[in-house]
Amino acid sequence: MSIIMYHCFMIKKMQREDIDEVMKIWLDTNISAHTFISDQYWKDHYREVKQAISEALVYVYKIDDKIVGFIGMIEDHIAGIFIRSDYQSQGIGKSLLAHVKKIHDHLTLEVYAQNEKAIAFYMREGFKITDEIDDPDTGEVAILMTLV
């Protein structure tokens, strides 16, 4: 006998009670995706990012009522897409991006130049590199991208 499991997923606006789960994903994902930046950098910025995320428009992706990823928006700017490591490469980031594409005609974002996986993802999704800037906080080069 085989067992078939169905999972219920949804994208919805983050609720106040979601913030701790969202922040855990934010911290874990930044540390694993940005090995070229000290873990302590992310830990040092945790409190200010938590405040900023609380004030931003954030859509969470839930599977069976568990948050597995989110996208943060500041007007037409994507502040970031973060997916739990055990749920990456399953189309969740693409779904979150598709959700905001329906709402926004024009989108921008920044990504570190060394984060080649993220740059490739955004380029596959129609974003183009429009500029480079130096991030004074990390000393890293950030790539500005625009959905065209």
Tens digits of per-residue pLDDT, 28-46? 999 999 999 999 999 999 9
- The pTM of this model reads 0.90
| Mean pLDDT over the full length of the chain | 93
Span 82-104, average pLDDT: 95
User: Which residues 6+ apart lie within 8 Å of 100 measured at CB?
Assistant: 59, 71, 73, 78, 107
CATH of domain 9-106: 3.40.630.30
Question: Looking up tokens 């859509």, which residue turns up?
Answer: 59
How would residue 5 be classed by pLDDT, with cut points 50, 70 and 90? low
Span 107-128, average pLDDT: 96
Instruction: Determine the pLDDT at residue 118.
Output: 94
> Could you count the other beta carbons within 10 Å of the beta carbon of residue 8?
8
User: Which residues 6+ apart lie within 8 Å of 7 measured at CB?
Assistant: 63, 64
